[in-house]
Chain A
Amino acid sequence: MRVLISGYRGNPYCGGQGIYIYNLSRELAKLGVEVDVMVGPPYPDPLEEWATVYKIENLNIWSIKTKDIPYEKLVRIFSPWNFADYILTRLHMFPEMETYSFRAFFALKKILKEKRYDIIHDIQSLGWATVPMKGYGIPIVTTVHHPLTKDREADLMGNFGLWDKTTTILFYPLVMQSFVIKRLDRVITSFREGITELNKAFGVKPEKVSVVYNGMDVDLFQNTGEPREENALLFVGNTEDSKKGLIYLFEAMTMLPEDVTLTIVDDGPPKKMTAADMIKKFNLSHRVKFTGKLSYEALVSLYSRKTILVMSSLFEGFGLPAVEAMACKTPVVVTTAGSLKEVVTEDCGILVPPKDPIALKDAILKLLSDSELRKKMGENGRRRAVENFSWPVAAKNTLKVYEDVIREFRRKR
């Protein structure tokens, strides 16, 4: 089978898409699939060992003021797609997906003079030009971890005033995604509730959605054997993302004993102020610390040393930190929001309703006071992570979806 994976951002260290492309392409190649990758910047780590990479240009100038755009990029703005990108970004839109899809459409036309593919796998770009791409006679599947409507709702909740709300609404290309997603052959999502979410957000028919759990590197994320700290909570995630429900975690912290501390793996002040302001408001400055961005090794070490991982999310499309913690034998306390109730079972963590700081506090206290339970949950978590959320499993399940889509596509023709 020959597959073209297409994503508008490819760097494995700056976002989920890059990690997904890197690992999925590698594992598919191991299964005997011929993989090509078409990708926009930041470009991925070398994939040449197992895939042919086609790099698509993009200046990535969203949120950069014209005066601050590096000279090398400035002099490239006057090409048609870059100029379209520039104008749209100045109007507070996020056109990367749109322009990527057009560039990819024309690049693919050239590639198809020499190659053929059995299937194209779009990684949540859903740009306008993905629809005419179907004219090349190749089925197209897309991966959407969660609909962007969730992100927009969360952002609008935190916005104040007409201008903030307007820029948020302009930022998310929901009209485009809603139009494109319904016209593709299959949508892959990473949790069962995603089927309903995609139907509600974009009107995607449930029979067009397949669930494939995300993968993670279970070899990298292993318990290091370092001694566990007591009463040490861990939070991993973007503190500026209101979907993470950090405010409820801080509220729970105020009800927990003074010796319970929280480590947040993200940038703190002055780079990111949202969480810092809340910490000040709740008078938690002496109990909460930020680590900034960490290397994988340092993150694995933290997972292995801290007592519990806590996720107070209002919505999650997968919940990677929970799985990473489970793989490191760390018990978790998570909300039942989005995918978390599928990812975490009751034998490897405690699930609480979202937006309920008292339930969160009770669950944390229960685990902190029972080391035997923590150990048992940690062992179960590792087993669950290896069996369900490793990249080889994700690739095998994705391949099954490809085969199904190709079969259906050929039958229709």
Chain B
Amino acid sequence: MPRAKIWGIIAVLVSAFLFALSIFSFFILPEGNFGFFSDVNLMNLHPLTYYSAAVPLGLISLWVLATGFWIGWVILSIKVVPPMPEIVEKKDNSKIKAFFLCLITAGLAVLLVYGIYLRNFWALAIPALVISAVILGAVFWVGMAIITTRATLPVNKN
């Protein structure tokens, strides 16, 4: 088996295992120890310890939310003058959707900052889970593609 295929299998297995582990750790392991709105003894952490994890995670999450808000804002504020004929004929409700996109992302950003301020566990857990899901999902998907794609390179017998 080519070495790349072996790496592909490893990528699929490791990413699936790590994602399952994070789901297990976040949702199953605590087993009712804390509810969605309760803090999980994060108050006991030294502020420096807490914020060294919370600030980078919070910044990444805010950056993603800000991008969403910015997209909505651009769509809301862009002037399509004169409209292209093919656009005039159709009803485009993207401005309404963009308004809601701005509203939702702004709301989530406020919630995130407030959650971090309150030291709510989920304010850190949800962004961490989403970031892990994106990265592990990418690793998994590339691994699957490597396994299922036929190699066009000559197999290195060494």
Q: Say if A and B assemble together.
A: yes
Q: Which residues of A contact B (CB under 8 A)?
A: 66-67, 69-72, 74-75, 77-78, 83, 86-87, 90, 153, 156-158, 160-162, 165-166, 169-170, 242, 247, 355
28 pairs, A vs B, C-beta closer than 8 Å: A66-B141, A66-B142, A66-B145, A69-B145, A71-B4, A71-B146, A71-B149, A71-B150, A72-B152, A74-B4, A74-B142, A74-B149, A75-B4, A77-B142, A78-B139, A86-B138, A87-B134, A156-B80, A158-B87, A160-B87, A161-B94, A162-B98, A165-B98, A166-B71, A169-B74, A170-B67, A170-B71, A242-B84
Inter-chain contacts of A169 with B (CB < 8 A): 70-71, 74-75
The reply on B103 being an interface residue by CB < 8 A is no
Whether the pair B149, A165 counts as a contact (CB closer than 8 A) is: no
Q: A71-B146, A156-B80, A169-B74 are in contact. List 9 more A-B contacts (CB 8 A).
A: A74-B4, A74-B149, A78-B139, A87-B134, A87-B135, A87-B138, A160-B90, A162-B98, A165-B94
Inter-chain contacts of B153 with A (CB < 8 A): 71-72
| Closest partner residue, chain B, to A156 (CB atom) | B78
| Closest partner residue, chain A, to B148 (CB atom) | A67
For the residues of A in contact with B, the DSSP-based class is helix
The reply on B92 being an interface residue by CB < 8 A is yes
Bound: A83/B134 CA distance, A: 12
Known: A78-B7, A156-B78. A161 touches B92 (CB 8 A): yes
Inter-chain contacts of B138 with A (CB < 8 A): 83, 86-87, 90
Known: A71-B150, A169-B74. A162 touches B94 (CB 8 A): yes
Inter-chain contacts of B83 with A (CB < 8 A): 157
Q: Between A and B, how many residue pairs show CB distances below 8 Å?
A: 78
| Closest partner residue, chain A, to B92 (CB atom) | A160
Known: A67-B145, A74-B145, A169-B71. A157 touches B87 (CB 8 A): yes
The reply on B82 being an interface residue by CB < 8 A is yes
The reply on B11 being an interface residue by CB < 8 A is yes
Bound: A90/B67 CA distance, A: 16
Inter-chain contacts of A69 with B (CB < 8 A): 145, 149
Known: A75-B7, A247-B85. A67 touches B149 (CB 8 A): yes
Instruction: Pick the residue among B7, B75, B135, B148 that contacts A165 (CB under 8 A).
Output: B75
| Closest partner residue, chain B, to A91 (CB atom) | B134
Shortest CB distance A127–B (Å): 18
Inter-chain contacts of A77 with B (CB < 8 A): 142
Whether the pair B146, A75 counts as a contact (CB closer than 8 A) is: yes
| Closest partner residue, chain B, to A76 (CB atom) | B4
| Closest partner residue, chain A, to B94 (CB atom) | A162
Inter-chain contacts of A247 with B (CB < 8 A): 84-85
| Closest partner residue, chain A, to B84 (CB atom) | A157
* 0/1 interface trace, chain B 127-147, chain A, CB 8 Å (1 if under): 000000011001101100110
Known: A75-B4, A77-B142. A162 touches B101 (CB 8 A): yes
Whether the pair A78, B149 counts as a contact (CB closer than 8 A) is: no
Bound: A74/B12 CA distance, A: 14
The reply on B40 being an interface residue by CB < 8 A is no
Inter-chain contacts of B146 with A (CB < 8 A): 71, 74-75
* 0/1 interface trace, chain B 63-94, chain A, CB 8 Å (1 if under): 00001001100110010101111110010101
Whether the pair A162, B75 counts as a contact (CB closer than 8 A) is: yes
The reply on B125 being an interface residue by CB < 8 A is no
Bound: A247/B87 CA distance, A: 13
Which residues of chain B in 36-85 are interfacial with respect to chain A, using CB atoms and an 8 Å cutoff?
67, 70-71, 74-75, 78, 80, 82-85
Shortest CB distance B37–A (Å): 31
Inter-chain contacts of B18 with A (CB < 8 A): none
Shortest CB distance B152–A (Å): 5
| Closest partner residue, chain A, to B135 (CB atom) | A87
Shortest CB distance A257–B (Å): 24
Instruction: Pick the residue among A66, A157, A161 that contacts B80 (CB under 8 A).
Output: A157
| Closest partner residue, chain B, to A69 (CB atom) | B145
Bound: A75/B8 CA distance, A: 8
* 0/1 interface trace, chain B 86-112, chain A, CB 8 Å (1 if under): 110010101001100100000000000
Shortest CB distance A254–B (Å): 13
What 6 A-B pairs have minimum CB-CB distances, sorted nearest first? A75-B4, A162-B97, A162-B94, A66-B145, A71-B149, A71-B151
Known: A156-B80, A160-B92, A162-B94. A78 touches B142 (CB 8 A): yes
Whether the pair B71, A70 counts as a contact (CB closer than 8 A) is: no
Inter-chain contacts of B11 with A (CB < 8 A): 78
| Closest partner residue, chain B, to A251 (CB atom) | B85
Inter-chain contacts of A67 with B (CB < 8 A): 145, 148-149
Inter-chain contacts of B149 with A (CB < 8 A): 67, 69, 71, 74
| Closest partner residue, chain A, to B73 (CB atom) | A169
| Closest partner residue, chain A, to B87 (CB atom) | A160
Inter-chain contacts of A162 with B (CB < 8 A): 75, 94, 97-98, 101
